[in-house]
Each structure stands twice: as C-alpha cells, then as structure tokens.
Amino acid sequence: MAEDMFLYWGSGSPPCWRIMIVLEEKKLQGYKEKLLSFEKMEHKSEEVLAINPRGQLPSFRHGDIKLNESFGVCLYLESQFKSQGTQLIPDSGAEQALVYQRMFEVLALQEKIMAIVYYFWKVPENERHDSALERNKKALNAELKLWEGYFEKLPSDSHIAGKNFTMADVMLLPQLACAVRFGLSIDKYPRLLEYYTRVKERPSLQASWPPHWKEDPPTMDLLKGV
Ligand SMILES: N[C@@H](CCC(=O)N[C@@H](CS)C(=O)NCC(=O)O)C(=O)O
C-alpha cells in the first residue's frame, strides 16, 4: 500500500504539503519520499520530468499510477482509502458541496498571496510602483476578510467547513502558514488567528511541517501591513 507510493517534494511548498497532510491523515506514513532542492533546480531532474513534464513539485507515484497535481493526488488518496484514517470528504451532499467549495476557494487566496510575493521576487526594485503593490495588498486584505467572515458564522473551535477537519482544511492551513511565513500579521484577523493557532498543532500538520521552517525563524515581511 503506502510502500508503493513515492512523493517527490520541496520544503515549504503548499502543494507538496497538502499531500503530506493527507498521507498522514489517511495513515499512509510508510510512503517513500525524496526531498528535492528548488535552489539546486532538482525539480527539473529527469526523475521528476518522468512523472511531471512541467518539472514541478509535488510529483507522485502509486505503483504504476502517476499523478502530479496536488488537488488530484489528495482526492485520489481520499477516494482510494476512504475508510482508512480521517474521512476528509463527507458523504452528505450539503456538507460535501461546502468542502469542495472551500477547497477550491483556497486557490483564490493562494493567487492573491503569490501576486505580492512574486512582485517582490520578480519585479526589479527600480521598476516597482507603490500603487501596484497597494492594489495587491488591498485585494489580499479583502480576501482574508472573506475567510474571517466564514469563521464568524461558525461556532468557535470549528474547522473551515464545519465541525470536522476536512479536505478544505488540508488546503487552507498550508496557505495560511505560508502567508504567516511571508510576514502576514494574522492577529489582524482574530478568528483566522484562533483557527490557525489551534489547527496547526494537529499531528498531521506537525509531522509534515516544512523542515527548513523549523530550523530558520521567519525573516520576511513581504505581506506586512495587509
Ligand atoms: N498546480 C500544481 C502547482 C505545483 C507548483 O506550482 N509547484 C511549485 C512549487 S510550490 C514548483 O514546482 N515550482 C517550480 C517551477 O514551476 O519550476 C499543484 O497544485 O500541484
């Protein structure tokens, strides 16, 4: 079972982290894995390209089955190991719809975080315009307020799609952790802060926490003031 699985991953990559959380939740800890370095361009190696022609991480294999989209891998694992470990997609139609809705909405949050991060990483300092940055920060602030609003409608100690930890949390937590790592003052969003502080202690999150984050404290303030 898990011994037939192989994951190529990079530390700090939310897409890789999603899969690792699911593997933990589904009690598939015996999987084989290889940590690759983005700095050394190891994600463009032949062994990765054989699974993922885009040369990106995660790249995943289960026996002869190759899968490299993180949402695809997570849904595949839940479907193949439905009755093992935590049930991450509920059976009831209404609950399932909300989990799918929130899962894919995380992509909007990811896009708004990365718009700011890539602005700093890719636009040379002398070509940066405060107005573009302010626009992106406003968009992220509005997005975070939306998520804060979702939690305000839920009882305290909820997860993002209700009482239980689901696939929607698998997607949301790494994205929030990434934003915090990039300098987001999450305490401006009290319900998100409460959720993040509580759920990041879950064993599946702690077991898969990016190793280089554990060693190096956050130093970036790219999302300061959002
Ligand atoms: N849609 C893909 C995105 C994967 C992705 O963007 N991976 C990044 C790391 S977070 C990567 O490998 N970047 C290197 C590159 O694109 O060359 C997924 O969700 O699995």
pLDDT, tens digit, 9 for 90 and up, residues 31-74: 999 999 999 999 999 999 999 999 999 999 999 999 999 999 99
pLDDT the model gives residue 164? 98
Q: Looking at the structure, tell me whether residues 66 and 137 fall in a common domain.
A: no
Do the bridges between strand 5-9 and strand 59-62 make them parallel or antiparallel, or are there none, so unpaired?
antiparallel
**3-state SS, residue 151:** helix
Could you tell me which residues are beta bridge partners of residue 66? Answer: 61
What is the Å distance from ligand 1's center to 9 Cα?
Answer: 10
pLDDT the model gives residue 36? 98
pLDDT the model gives residue 220? 84
| Residue length of the chain | 226
Q: Looking at the structure, tell me whether residues 39 and 98 fall in a common domain.
A: no
User: Residue 50 is which amino acid?
Assistant: A
* Listed residue (135, 34, 26) closest to 73, CA to CA: 26
Q: Looking at the structure, tell me whether residues 27 and 59 fall in a common domain.
A: yes
In CATH, what number is assigned to the domain containing residue 186?
Answer: 1.20.1050.10
What is the Å distance from ligand 1's center to 58 Cα?
Answer: 7
Mean pLDDT, the chain, whole residue set:
96
Task: Give the residues surrounding ligand 1 with Cβ less than 6 Å away.
Answer: 10, 13, 15, 43, 55-58, 69-70
Q: Looking at the structure, tell me whether residues 49 and 99 fall in a common domain.
A: no
- Would residue 86 count as lying in a domain? no
- Give pLDDT < 50 ranges for the chain: none
Rounded CA-CA distance 87/165 in Å is 9
Cis before 90 (ω within 30): no
Domain finish residue from 80, 114, 143: 80
Query: How many domains does the structure of the chain reveal?
Result: 2
Rounded CA-CA distance 124/151 in Å is 38
pLDDT the model gives residue 130? 85
Conformational region of residue 216, where left means phi above 0, alpha means psi within -120 to 50, and beta covers everything else: beta
Locate the ligand 1 atom nearest the alpha carbon of residue 44 and give its number: 17
> Which residue range forms the structural domain that includes residue 151?
93-215
Q: Looking at the structure, tell me whether residues 207 and 98 fall in a common domain.
A: yes
In which element (H, E) is residue 100 found?
Answer: helix 93-122
User: Residue 205 is which amino acid?
Assistant: L
Residue nearest to atom 15 of ligand 1 (CA): 56
Rounded CA-CA distance 200/20 in Å is 14
What is the Å distance from ligand 1's center to 188 Cα?
Answer: 29
What is the Å distance from ligand 1's center to 98 Cα?
Answer: 26
pLDDT the model gives residue 67? 96
Q: Which of the listed residues 57, 59, 111, 114 should we mutate to test ligand 1's pocket, taking the one with most ligand atoms within 8 A of CB?
A: 57
Domain finish residue from 23, 53, 80: 80
Q: Looking at the structure, tell me whether residues 135 and 75 fall in a common domain.
A: no
Q: Which two tokens stand for residue 205?
A: 């999150």
Q: Which of the listed residues 56, 113, 118 should we mutate to test ligand 1's pocket, taking the one with most ligand atoms within 8 A of CB?
A: 56
